[in-house]
Amino acid sequence: MRLVYGLNPVRELIRARPRDVSVVYVADAAAARELHALTKDRAIALEERTRRELDALAGADARHQGVIAVAGEYAYRDIDDVLDATTEPPLVVVLDGVQDPRNLGAIVRSAHVLGAHAVVLAKDRAAPVTPVTVKASAGATEHTPICRVTNLVRAIEALKERGVWTVGAVVDRGKPPAALDLKGPIAFVLGAEGKGLRALVERACDHRAEIPMSGRVASLNVSVAAGILLYEARRQRMASASAR
């Protein structure tokens, strides 16, 4: 069992995976009205609860907005299945040791809105999909495939064998994203907060991208860096499509 909370995440869960949802608890009248049709059309139970009951269920620090859905375990996807189903050049985000669930959620949100086909993360020493992740993603976790792998370097090599060029995000010795051709099959590889890519993961990458920066702060938050890289890939692909 897992909990998904917040109006937008619960709404997207109901739309994307209605069979996973066993019940939705609401303590907010406006949210109940908005979710009534969605749950009724999908034969999902919608039950009123007090905010105190929802606080006890989700935890005191959870910003549940008076809405909690009880669902099955998160369904991670197989990266090969995702690539097989993609009809355009794949755009993938690979995360090396990102442990903050909010950062993971923000990355998944950017991946969804900027056209990435999957997010790949390791099973160990990395944040899994949690209620906090789902909330931070605004429900994008229910639409963007997330894949968990045992060995990240082997996963990168497997992507390369399928014709996907891998681009490691670094703080120096890399090319500006705009100087790289990102129109073809690409996987961006980003490292942990404050640590960056591990040496063997960086060595496995085909290219290195360095986001030009000014100011006194040494580096960008990993979710911000992911958004910048994904935007540049999106920009190049849209420009290429309009030029045809």
Q: What is the pLDDT of residues 138-186, one digit of tens each?
A: 999 999 999 999 999 999 999 999 999 999 999 888 999 999 999 999 9
Structural domain boundaries, residue 205: 79-243
Give residue 154's pLDDT. 97
Q: pLDDT tier at 26 (50, 70, 90 boundaries)? A: very high
Q: Among 44-58, 148-162, 187-201, which range has the highest average pLDDT?
A: 148-162
Per-residue pLDDT tens over the stretch 78-105: 999 999 999 999 999 999 999 999 999 9
Contact (Cβ atoms closer than 8 angstroms) between residue 168 and residue 41: no
Q: Identify the domain boundary among 27, 52, 71.
A: 71
pTM listed for this prediction: 0.89
Q: pLDDT tier at 11 (50, 70, 90 boundaries)? A: very high
Q: Identify the domain boundary among 71, 97, 126.
A: 71
Q: Do both 65 and 129 map to the same domain? A: no
Q: Do both 84 and 170 map to the same domain? A: yes
